[in-house]
Protein backbone atom coordinates (compact mmCIF):
# COMPACT_ATOMS: atom_id res chain seq x y z
CA UNK A 1 0.00 0.00 0.00
CA UNK A 2 1.55 3.37 -1.01
CA UNK A 3 2.58 5.69 1.83
CA UNK A 4 0.28 8.45 0.56
CA UNK A 5 -2.69 6.08 0.63
CA UNK A 6 -1.93 4.97 4.19
CA UNK A 7 -1.69 8.57 5.38
CA UNK A 8 -4.91 9.59 3.64
CA UNK A 9 -6.92 6.64 4.98
CA UNK A 10 -5.67 7.13 8.55
CA UNK A 11 -6.50 10.85 8.41
CA UNK A 12 -9.99 10.11 7.05
CA UNK A 13 -10.57 7.53 9.79
CA UNK A 14 -9.67 9.98 12.56
CA UNK A 15 -11.75 12.74 11.00
CA UNK A 16 -14.73 10.37 10.97
CA UNK A 17 -14.07 9.34 14.58
CA UNK A 18 -14.17 13.00 15.65
CA UNK A 19 -17.72 13.30 14.33
CA UNK A 20 -19.07 9.87 15.33
CA UNK A 21 -17.40 9.42 18.72
CA UNK A 22 -15.69 6.15 17.69
CA UNK A 23 -12.99 5.12 20.17
CA UNK A 24 -9.53 4.75 18.66
CA UNK A 25 -6.42 2.87 19.88
CA UNK A 26 -6.47 1.73 23.47
CA UNK A 27 -7.97 3.38 26.56
CA UNK A 28 -6.05 6.06 28.38
CA UNK A 29 -6.18 6.85 32.07
CA UNK A 30 -6.66 10.60 32.14
CA UNK A 31 -7.90 12.30 35.29
CA UNK A 32 -11.04 13.57 33.59
CA UNK A 33 -12.30 15.20 36.78
CA UNK A 34 -9.25 17.47 36.77
CA UNK A 35 -9.27 18.13 33.02
CA UNK A 36 -12.97 19.04 32.98
CA UNK A 37 -12.19 22.05 35.16
CA UNK A 38 -10.63 23.88 32.22
CA UNK A 39 -10.98 21.80 29.01
CA UNK A 40 -14.32 21.75 27.12
CA UNK A 41 -16.23 18.49 26.75
CA UNK A 42 -15.94 18.70 22.96
CA UNK A 43 -12.18 18.11 23.30
CA UNK A 44 -12.36 15.48 26.02
CA UNK A 45 -14.72 13.19 24.08
CA UNK A 46 -12.32 12.85 21.11
CA UNK A 47 -9.18 12.11 23.12
CA UNK A 48 -7.43 9.03 21.77
CA UNK A 49 -4.16 7.39 22.66
CA UNK A 50 -2.41 4.51 24.41
CA UNK A 51 -1.06 6.21 27.51
CA UNK A 52 -1.17 9.42 29.48
CA UNK A 53 1.52 12.00 28.60
CA UNK A 54 3.84 11.10 31.46
CA UNK A 55 6.45 13.55 30.20
CA UNK A 56 4.28 16.44 31.31
CA UNK A 57 5.21 15.57 34.90
CA UNK A 58 8.70 16.85 34.10
CA UNK A 59 7.62 20.17 32.57
CA UNK A 60 8.99 23.38 34.00
CA UNK A 61 7.47 26.86 33.81
CA UNK A 62 8.37 28.68 30.61
CA UNK A 63 9.32 25.62 28.55
CA UNK A 64 8.29 24.95 24.95
CA UNK A 65 6.38 21.71 24.39
CA UNK A 66 5.46 20.03 21.09
CA UNK A 67 2.69 17.44 20.82
CA UNK A 68 2.95 15.22 17.72
CA UNK A 69 -0.57 14.24 16.67
CA UNK A 70 -2.35 16.70 18.93
CA UNK A 71 -5.87 15.75 17.83
CA UNK A 72 -8.49 17.77 19.68
CA UNK A 73 -5.81 19.29 21.87
CA UNK A 74 -6.23 17.58 25.26
CA UNK A 75 -2.50 17.06 25.92
CA UNK A 76 -1.63 20.52 24.59
CA UNK A 77 -4.11 22.17 26.93
CA UNK A 78 -2.75 20.30 29.95
CA UNK A 79 0.77 21.30 28.84
CA UNK A 80 -0.46 24.89 28.55
CA UNK A 81 -1.47 24.82 32.21
CA UNK A 82 1.84 23.34 33.30
CA UNK A 83 4.22 25.61 31.38
CA UNK A 84 2.31 28.68 32.51
CA UNK A 85 1.61 31.85 30.53
CA UNK A 86 5.32 32.37 29.86
CA UNK A 87 5.61 28.95 28.19
CA UNK A 88 4.64 27.90 24.69
CA UNK A 89 2.86 24.81 23.33
CA UNK A 90 2.68 23.64 19.71
CA UNK A 91 0.17 21.03 18.58
CA UNK A 92 0.86 19.26 15.28
CA UNK A 93 -1.81 17.30 13.43
CA UNK A 94 -2.59 16.26 9.85
CA UNK A 95 -6.39 16.14 10.16
CA UNK A 96 -8.34 19.34 9.44
CA UNK A 97 -11.33 18.29 11.54
CA UNK A 98 -9.14 17.83 14.62
CA UNK A 99 -7.31 21.11 14.04
CA UNK A 100 -10.58 22.99 13.73
CA UNK A 101 -11.84 21.67 17.08
CA UNK A 102 -8.52 22.34 18.83
CA UNK A 103 -8.17 25.89 17.50
CA UNK A 104 -11.76 26.75 18.38
CA UNK A 105 -11.22 25.72 21.99
CA UNK A 106 -7.78 27.27 22.56
CA UNK A 107 -9.17 30.65 23.62
CA UNK A 108 -11.73 28.97 25.90
CA UNK A 109 -8.98 27.05 27.72
CA UNK A 110 -6.86 30.20 28.03
CA UNK A 111 -9.76 32.05 29.70
CA UNK A 112 -10.43 29.12 32.02
CA UNK A 113 -6.76 29.15 33.06
CA UNK A 114 -6.84 32.90 33.65
CA UNK A 115 -4.40 33.70 30.82
CA UNK A 116 -4.66 37.00 28.95
CA UNK A 117 -4.15 35.08 25.68
CA UNK A 118 -3.59 31.49 24.60
CA UNK A 119 -0.04 30.12 24.71
CA UNK A 120 -1.01 27.22 22.41
CA UNK A 121 -0.89 27.15 18.62
CA UNK A 122 -1.97 24.33 16.33
CA UNK A 123 -0.12 23.67 13.06
CA UNK A 124 -1.08 21.37 10.22
CA UNK A 125 1.70 19.00 9.25
CA UNK A 126 3.08 15.49 9.25
CA UNK A 127 5.27 13.80 11.83
CA UNK A 128 7.96 12.99 9.26
CA UNK A 129 8.19 16.61 8.01
CA UNK A 130 7.35 18.88 10.92
CA UNK A 131 6.82 22.61 10.34
CA UNK A 132 8.98 23.42 13.38
CA UNK A 133 12.33 25.22 13.59
CA UNK A 134 15.56 23.42 14.50
CA UNK A 135 16.62 23.20 18.17
CA UNK A 136 13.53 24.92 19.59
CA UNK A 137 11.65 22.32 21.67
CA UNK A 138 12.31 21.45 25.33
CA UNK A 139 9.90 18.50 25.49
CA UNK A 140 8.31 16.41 22.71
CA UNK A 141 5.23 14.39 23.62
CA UNK A 142 3.09 12.08 21.52
CA UNK A 143 0.26 9.71 22.37
CA UNK A 144 -0.04 6.69 20.06
CA UNK A 145 0.57 8.67 16.85
CA UNK A 146 4.08 7.86 15.61
CA UNK A 147 2.77 4.31 15.17
CA UNK A 148 0.60 5.68 12.35
CA UNK A 149 3.54 7.13 10.40
CA UNK A 150 4.73 4.83 7.58
CA UNK A 151 8.40 5.87 7.98
CA UNK A 152 9.09 6.12 11.71
CA UNK A 153 12.84 6.61 11.33
CA UNK A 154 12.14 9.88 9.51
CA UNK A 155 9.93 10.88 12.44
CA UNK A 156 12.71 10.13 14.94
CA UNK A 157 15.17 12.19 12.89
CA UNK A 158 12.69 15.07 12.81
CA UNK A 159 12.27 14.83 16.59
CA UNK A 160 16.02 15.05 17.05
CA UNK A 161 16.27 18.01 14.68
CA UNK A 162 13.71 20.13 16.50
CA UNK A 163 14.75 19.25 20.07
CA UNK A 164 17.03 21.65 21.92
CA UNK A 165 20.38 20.45 23.22
CA UNK A 166 19.42 19.09 26.61
CA UNK A 167 15.86 18.55 25.36
CA UNK A 168 13.90 15.36 25.81
CA UNK A 169 10.92 13.35 24.62
CA UNK A 170 8.33 11.24 26.38
CA UNK A 171 6.05 9.38 23.99
CA UNK A 172 3.52 6.57 24.28
CA UNK A 173 3.07 4.14 21.40
CA UNK A 174 2.11 0.60 20.41
CA UNK A 175 4.88 -1.88 19.61
CA UNK A 176 4.91 -5.62 18.90
CA UNK A 177 6.91 -8.56 20.21
CA UNK A 178 7.62 -9.74 16.66
CA UNK A 179 7.60 -8.36 13.13
CA UNK A 180 4.09 -7.60 11.88
CA UNK A 181 3.38 -9.75 8.78
CA UNK A 182 2.46 -8.25 5.43
CA UNK A 183 -1.20 -9.31 5.54
CA UNK A 184 -1.63 -7.04 8.59
CA UNK A 185 0.62 -4.29 7.23
CA UNK A 186 -1.77 -3.95 4.27
CA UNK A 187 -4.93 -4.02 6.41
CA UNK A 188 -6.29 -0.44 6.34
CA UNK A 189 -8.61 -1.00 9.31
CA UNK A 190 -5.76 -2.14 11.54
CA UNK A 191 -3.62 0.87 10.60
CA UNK A 192 -6.25 3.06 12.25
CA UNK A 193 -6.28 0.68 15.22
CA UNK A 194 -2.55 1.38 15.77
CA UNK A 195 -1.64 -2.22 14.97
CA UNK A 196 -0.50 -2.58 11.34
CA UNK A 197 2.17 0.12 11.71
CA UNK A 198 3.67 -1.27 14.91
CA UNK A 199 7.42 -1.83 14.97
CA UNK A 200 9.08 -4.33 17.24
CA UNK A 201 10.40 -2.79 20.45
CA UNK A 202 13.93 -3.47 19.17
CA UNK A 203 13.39 -1.53 15.94
CA UNK A 204 11.54 1.29 17.69
CA UNK A 205 14.27 1.95 20.24
CA UNK A 206 17.15 1.40 17.80
CA UNK A 207 15.53 3.93 15.45
CA UNK A 208 15.58 6.52 18.22
CA UNK A 209 19.22 5.76 19.02
CA UNK A 210 20.15 5.99 15.34
CA UNK A 211 18.52 9.44 15.21
CA UNK A 212 20.86 10.57 18.00
CA UNK A 213 18.82 10.22 21.20
CA UNK A 214 20.47 8.64 24.25
CA UNK A 215 19.35 7.37 27.63
CA UNK A 216 16.20 5.89 26.09
CA UNK A 217 14.29 4.04 28.76
CA UNK A 218 10.93 2.62 29.73
CA UNK A 219 8.53 4.72 31.79
CA UNK A 220 5.42 2.54 31.54
CA UNK A 221 4.34 -0.74 29.94
CA UNK A 222 0.87 -2.21 29.38
CA UNK A 223 -0.31 -5.23 27.33
CA UNK A 224 -2.91 -4.36 24.67
CA UNK A 225 -3.96 -7.02 22.16
CA UNK A 226 -2.90 -10.41 20.81
CA UNK A 227 -3.62 -11.03 17.12
CA UNK A 228 -2.59 -14.30 15.47
CA UNK A 229 0.00 -14.89 18.17
CA UNK A 230 1.52 -11.40 17.88
CA UNK A 231 1.52 -9.48 21.16
CA UNK A 232 0.89 -5.75 20.81
CA UNK A 233 1.62 -3.62 23.86
CA UNK A 234 1.83 0.00 24.87
CA UNK A 235 5.11 1.52 25.99
CA UNK A 236 5.91 4.99 27.25
CA UNK A 237 9.54 5.88 26.54
CA UNK A 238 11.77 8.81 27.44
CA UNK A 239 15.09 9.85 25.90
CA UNK A 240 17.45 12.84 25.68
CA UNK A 241 19.27 14.98 23.14
CA UNK A 242 22.58 15.44 24.92
CA UNK A 243 25.31 17.83 23.85
CA UNK A 244 27.75 16.19 21.40
CA UNK A 245 30.55 18.48 22.58
CA UNK A 246 32.85 17.62 25.45
CA UNK A 247 31.52 19.03 28.71
CA UNK A 248 33.81 20.03 31.55
CA UNK A 249 33.30 17.58 34.42
CA UNK A 250 35.20 16.42 37.49
CA UNK A 251 33.86 12.89 36.97
CA UNK A 252 36.57 10.61 35.64
CA UNK A 253 35.43 7.10 36.59
CA UNK A 254 32.22 5.08 36.57
CA UNK A 255 31.65 1.91 38.57
CA UNK A 256 28.60 -0.23 37.89
CA UNK A 257 26.79 -0.93 41.18
CA UNK A 258 24.24 -3.42 39.82
CA UNK A 259 21.91 -5.21 40.02
CA UNK A 260 23.07 -6.18 36.53
CA UNK A 261 26.39 -8.02 36.49
CA UNK A 262 27.31 -6.42 33.14
CA UNK A 263 25.79 -3.73 30.91
CA UNK A 264 26.49 -2.19 27.51
CA UNK A 265 25.33 1.39 27.02
CA UNK A 266 24.08 2.98 23.79
CA UNK A 267 27.59 4.11 22.87
CA UNK A 268 28.78 0.49 23.04
CA UNK A 269 30.74 0.93 26.29
CA UNK A 270 30.77 -2.18 28.50
CA UNK A 271 30.74 -1.95 32.30
CA UNK A 272 31.34 -4.86 34.68
CA UNK A 273 29.83 -4.62 38.13
CA UNK A 274 32.25 -3.40 40.78
CA UNK A 275 35.08 -2.57 38.35
CA UNK A 276 35.84 1.16 37.84
CA UNK A 277 36.15 2.32 34.26
CA UNK A 278 37.74 5.55 33.05
CA UNK A 279 35.21 7.65 31.12
CA UNK A 280 35.23 10.74 28.91
CA UNK A 281 33.16 13.87 29.71
CA UNK A 282 30.49 12.88 27.18
CA UNK A 283 30.05 9.52 28.92
CA UNK A 284 29.93 11.26 32.30
CA UNK A 285 27.11 13.45 30.97
CA UNK A 286 25.18 10.40 29.75
CA UNK A 287 25.61 8.44 32.99
CA UNK A 288 24.50 11.49 34.99
CA UNK A 289 21.07 11.41 33.31
CA UNK A 290 18.17 9.96 35.35
CA UNK A 291 17.91 6.40 34.00
CA UNK A 292 21.57 5.67 34.80
CA UNK A 293 22.30 7.38 38.11
CA UNK A 294 20.98 4.65 40.43
CA UNK A 295 23.14 2.03 38.70
CA UNK A 296 26.51 3.82 38.76
CA UNK A 297 28.96 5.30 41.19
CA UNK A 298 30.52 8.34 39.47
CA UNK A 299 33.80 9.49 41.00
CA UNK A 300 36.95 11.55 40.44
CA UNK A 301 39.16 8.60 41.45
CA UNK A 302 38.67 4.88 40.69
CA UNK A 303 36.51 3.05 43.24
CA UNK A 304 36.32 -0.73 43.29
CA UNK A 305 33.29 -2.46 44.80
CA UNK A 306 32.74 -6.01 46.05
CA UNK A 307 29.73 -7.84 47.46
CA UNK A 308 30.58 -6.70 51.00
CA UNK A 309 30.16 -3.05 50.05
CA UNK A 310 26.67 -1.66 50.83
CA UNK A 311 26.71 0.12 47.44
CA UNK A 312 26.95 -3.24 45.63
CA UNK A 313 23.55 -4.37 44.28
CA UNK A 314 22.54 -7.90 43.29
CA UNK A 315 19.29 -9.88 43.13
CA UNK A 316 19.75 -13.66 43.19
CA UNK A 317 17.03 -16.17 42.32
CA UNK A 318 15.47 -18.26 45.07
CA UNK A 319 17.19 -21.61 45.50
CA UNK A 320 14.07 -23.65 44.71
CA UNK A 321 12.73 -25.50 41.67
CA UNK A 322 11.16 -23.33 38.97
CA UNK A 323 8.27 -23.61 36.53
CA UNK A 324 7.88 -22.50 32.94
CA UNK A 325 4.68 -20.45 32.65
CA UNK A 326 5.02 -18.81 29.23
CA UNK A 327 6.73 -15.60 30.34
CA UNK A 328 9.08 -13.63 28.08
CA UNK A 329 11.18 -10.63 29.12
CA UNK A 330 12.00 -7.68 26.86
CA UNK A 331 14.76 -5.31 27.95
CA UNK A 332 13.56 -1.73 27.38
CA UNK A 333 16.66 0.36 28.02
CA UNK A 334 18.58 2.43 28.82
CA UNK A 335 21.15 -0.28 28.01
CA UNK A 336 21.35 -2.17 24.73
CA UNK A 337 22.54 -5.34 26.45
CA UNK A 338 22.65 -6.59 30.04
CA UNK A 339 23.45 -9.73 32.01
CA UNK A 340 22.12 -10.88 35.38
CA UNK A 341 23.69 -13.11 38.03
CA UNK A 342 22.38 -16.28 36.42
CA UNK A 343 24.08 -15.57 33.10
CA UNK A 344 20.93 -14.57 31.22
CA UNK A 345 21.85 -12.21 28.41
CA UNK A 346 19.17 -9.65 27.56
CA UNK A 347 19.29 -7.66 24.32
CA UNK A 348 17.13 -4.57 24.05
CA UNK A 349 13.68 -5.35 22.72
CA UNK A 350 14.35 -9.05 22.04
CA UNK A 351 11.97 -11.46 23.83
CA UNK A 352 13.76 -14.00 26.06
CA UNK A 353 11.83 -16.88 27.61
CA UNK A 354 12.23 -16.90 31.40
CA UNK A 355 11.21 -19.26 34.19
CA UNK A 356 9.27 -18.39 37.33
CA UNK A 357 12.42 -17.65 39.38
CA UNK A 358 13.70 -15.19 36.78
CA UNK A 359 10.28 -13.52 36.66
CA UNK A 360 10.64 -12.88 40.40
CA UNK A 361 14.13 -11.44 39.89
CA UNK A 362 13.03 -9.10 37.11
CA UNK A 363 10.06 -7.91 39.15
CA UNK A 364 12.36 -6.80 41.97
CA UNK A 365 12.98 -3.09 42.50
CA UNK A 366 16.34 -2.83 40.72
CA UNK A 367 15.26 -4.66 37.57
CA UNK A 368 11.54 -3.90 37.22
CA UNK A 369 11.78 -0.43 35.60
CA UNK A 370 13.79 -1.80 32.68
CA UNK A 371 11.68 -4.75 31.52
CA UNK A 372 8.38 -5.46 29.81
CA UNK A 373 7.20 -8.98 30.65
CA UNK A 374 4.68 -10.74 28.38
CA UNK A 375 3.00 -14.11 28.72
CA UNK A 376 2.71 -16.00 25.44
CA UNK A 377 0.97 -19.05 26.88
CA UNK A 378 -2.37 -19.49 25.13
CA UNK A 379 -3.98 -21.20 28.11
CA UNK A 380 -3.21 -22.03 31.73
CA UNK A 381 0.17 -23.76 32.04
CA UNK A 382 0.34 -26.85 34.24
CA UNK A 383 3.95 -27.92 33.79
CA UNK A 384 5.70 -29.47 36.80
CA UNK A 385 8.41 -27.69 38.73
CA UNK A 386 11.94 -28.54 37.60
CA UNK A 387 15.39 -28.00 39.03
CA UNK A 388 17.38 -26.10 36.49
CA UNK A 389 20.80 -27.15 37.73
CA UNK A 390 22.16 -29.43 40.46
CA UNK A 391 22.79 -26.55 42.88
CA UNK A 392 19.28 -25.11 42.41
CA UNK A 393 20.45 -22.11 40.42
CA UNK A 394 18.24 -20.68 37.71
CA UNK A 395 18.10 -21.72 34.05
The pLDDT of residue 15 is 44
pLDDT, the chain, mean = 88
- Give how far the C-alpha of residue 23 lies from the chain's centroid of Cα atoms, to the nearest Å: 23
Confidence (pTM): 0.88
The pLDDT of residue 62 is 97
Task: State how beta strands 296-299 and 253-256 pair.
Answer: antiparallel
The pLDDT of residue 191 is 57
pLDDT in tens, 325-355: 999 999 998 999 999 999 999 999 999 999 9
pLDDT in tens, 174-188: 999 999 888 888 777
The pLDDT of residue 32 is 82
Distance CA 325, CA 8 (A): 43
The pLDDT of residue 55 is 74
The pLDDT of residue 394 is 56
CB contact at 8 A, 213 and 260: no
Q: Count Cα neighbours of 260 within 13 Å in the Cβ-side half-sphere.
A: 30
Domains located in the chain, CATH noted: 3-240 (3.40.50.150), 246-314 (3.40.5), 318-395 (3.40.5.100)
Distance CA 68, CA 299 (A): 39
Distance CA 278, CA 300 (A): 10
Detail the DSSP E strand segments found in the chain. 64-68, 88-93, 120-124, 137-143, 163-176, 214-227, 230-240, 253-256, 262-264, 270-272, 276-278, 296-299, 327-331, 337-339, 345-347, 352-353, 371-375
The pLDDT of residue 348 is 97
Distance CA 293, CA 165 (A): 20
The pLDDT of residue 193 is 66
Tell me which residues of the chain have a pLDDT lower than 70.
Answer: 1-29, 48-54, 189-194, 244-248, 379-395
Distance CA 114, CA 232 (A): 41
Amino acid sequence: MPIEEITEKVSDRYAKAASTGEQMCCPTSYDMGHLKTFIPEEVLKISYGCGTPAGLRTVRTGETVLDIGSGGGIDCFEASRLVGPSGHVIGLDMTDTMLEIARKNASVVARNLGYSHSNVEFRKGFADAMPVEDNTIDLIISNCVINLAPDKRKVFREMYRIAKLGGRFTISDIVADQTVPQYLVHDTQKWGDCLSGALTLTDYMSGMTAAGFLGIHLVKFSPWQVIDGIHFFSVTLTGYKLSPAAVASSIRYATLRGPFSRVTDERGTVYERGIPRAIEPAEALLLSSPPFTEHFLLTTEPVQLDDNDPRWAAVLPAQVPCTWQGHYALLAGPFIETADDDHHLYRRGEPLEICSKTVAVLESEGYRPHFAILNRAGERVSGEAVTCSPNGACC
